[in-house]
Amino acid sequence: MAYNVTTTIIQVARQRPATEIMALAGEVIRGGGLVAFPTETVYGLGANALNPEAVARIFEAKERPANDPIIVHIHMFDQLNQITNNLPSGVEALARRFWPGPLTLVLPKSDAIPHSITAGRDTVAVRMPNHPIALALLRAAGVPIGAPSANRFSRPSPTTAAHVRADLDGHVDVILDGGPTDIGVESTILDVTSAVPTILRAGGVPLEALRAYLPTLAYAPQYLLETVASAPAPGNLLKHYAPHAQMFVYEGDDDEAVYDAMREQALSLSNQGQAVGILALNHEILNFEAITAQIVLCGRDSTAFAANLFAGLRALDTAGVQAILVRVPSPFGLGLAVRDRLIRAAEGRVLQVTAQGVDSGGV
Ligand code: TXA
Ligand code: MG
């Protein structure tokens, strides 16, 4: 790989990021380098969004296809003028309602934004993250920062500095370690350039919260098997967020039927000599008492599930399991984003369970 560097990991106090550290990290960004940093969603891999060579390094480090556009991060509303020259009406009020926060807006792009950031599109994705370290970095850098999630392409997104290091050691100049991220799944992507405002990716802002503000809102997740240049959110490939283990993702309203199917599968895999992992909400553990498996508990509800999802997938991979079984949470609140990431991790193969049996038809 062309970009090979010594990676420096720096601990940063989340509530009071030290001025000297942030000045140094801002200097690295201005000098065309790469800085990984925590946001409220996941860790980002940042570069000066206005410098095409710096942006090219992001693609190299992640081994990311060039047709997958990158989100631009800002820390104040004035920076929008630099990024877009045509703010659709009502969008500033919308941004002021949800920023700083886990909402990414797709807007018409200005000439200042390099084509590599937008993968040649005439739109640009922008957000203002709600995390003291991300905001301090943006202030110190003084330029908008382009940042995808700081994982290797197709790996689960990083929610800790250790995840970033595991994927990108030697490919990023600085990792700012601010502890685990809060939300755990990426931002909600909202396209406001289309006739009807459309969610392209479920994420940290729940659909219900956006719909309360935008009643006509549409949700149009894309599940693509391969990169299609014309797709609305080309990064939305299946086989995104995938662990090495094979995923068995279950969905259905009939608790008994779902857990029966999961137990049967776990047993059959163990009998074949496979190490089985289970990702579960705390209360689900009672259903797996008789099963030999590594169980990672993700908490009590879908908000906790979101916070622990990617770390759980990575932990089970590290534990060396060959299969991961999980039940999709209800698609409300952050459950919708968790469902979306599980579908992708399973490359679209969702096992729909009813009292009549299991249907592996997919989404
Ligand atoms: O929470 C997040 O959004 C994190 C943190 C670091 O901010 N970032 C993130 O970036 O998830 P990434 O690159 O992993 O996902 C961004 C996705 C792309 O894959 C693409 O689908 C979509 O955003 N995107 C970017 N620019 C776009 C555009 N102009 N039009 C449509 N979709 C776009
Ligand atoms: Mg990503």
3-state SS record for 268-316? HHHHCCCCEEEEECHHHHHHHCCCCCEEEECCCCHHHHHHHHHHHHHHH
Residue 226 confidence (pLDDT): 56
The chain-wide mean pLDDT, for the chain, equals 94
Percent of the chain with pLDDT over 90: 86
Find all residues with CB under 8 Å of 228, minimum gap 6, and list them. 234
Find all residues with CB under 8 Å of 74, minimum gap 6, and list them. 80, 83, 126, 127, 128, 138, 144
User: Is the CB–ligand 1 distance for residue 188 below 6 Å?
Assistant: no
Q: What one-letter code names the amino acid at 266?
A: A
Q: What are phi and psi of 309, to 5 degrees?
A: -55, -60
3-state SS assignment for residue 242: coil
Task: Please tell me the distance from the alpha carbon of residue 280 to that of residue 316, in angstroms, as a whole number.
Answer: 12
Find all residues with CB under 8 Å of 266, minimum gap 6, and list them. 276, 278, 288, 291, 292, 293, 325
Q: Does position 3 have pLDDT exceeding 80, yes or no?
A: no
Q: Does position 158 have pLDDT exceeding 50, yes or no?
A: yes
Pocket test for ligand 1, best of 189, 191, 194 (most atoms within 8 A of CB): 189
User: Is the CB–ligand 1 distance for residue 205 below 6 Å?
Assistant: no
Sole residue written with tokens 């008492």: 289
User: Is the CB–ligand 1 distance for residue 28 below 6 Å?
Assistant: no
**Region of residue 34 (left: phi > 0; alpha: psi -120 to 50; beta: else):** beta
Residue 362 confidence (pLDDT): 59
Token output for 235: 């990064």
Residue 228 confidence (pLDDT): 52
Task: Please tell me the distance from the alpha carbon of residue 72 to that of residue 90, in angstroms, as a whole number.
Answer: 20
Residue 287 confidence (pLDDT): 97
User: Is the CB–ligand 1 distance for residue 113 below 6 Å?
Assistant: no
CA of 262 to the centre of ligand 2 (A): 29
CA of 233 to the centre of ligand 1 (A): 8
Residue 221 confidence (pLDDT): 85
Q: Which domains does the chain have, with CATH numbers?
A: 8-219 (3.90.870.10), 246-359 (3.40.50.11030)
Q: Does position 275 have pLDDT exceeding 60, yes or no?
A: yes
Q: What are phi and psi of 327, to 5 degrees?
A: -100, 130
Q: Does position 1 have pLDDT exceeding 50, yes or no?
A: no
pLDDT tens digits for 121-149?
A: 999 999 999 999 999 999 999 999 999 99
Q: Does position 223 have pLDDT exceeding 90, yes or no?
A: no
In Å, how far from its chain's centre is CA 229?
A: 20
Q: Does position 218 have pLDDT exceeding 70, yes or no?
A: yes
User: Is the CB–ligand 1 distance for residue 106 below 6 Å?
Assistant: yes
pLDDT average, residue stretch 342-358: 93
Using 50, 70 and 90 to split pLDDT, how confident is the model at 55?
A: very high
Q: 2-16, 175-189, 341-355 — which one is most confidently predicted on average?
A: 175-189
Q: Does position 94 have pLDDT exceeding 60, yes or no?
A: yes
Task: Please tell me the distance from the alpha carbon of residue 333 to that of residue 337, in angstroms, as a whole number.
Answer: 8
pLDDT tens digits for 233-265?
A: 555 556 667 788 999 999 999 999 999 999 999
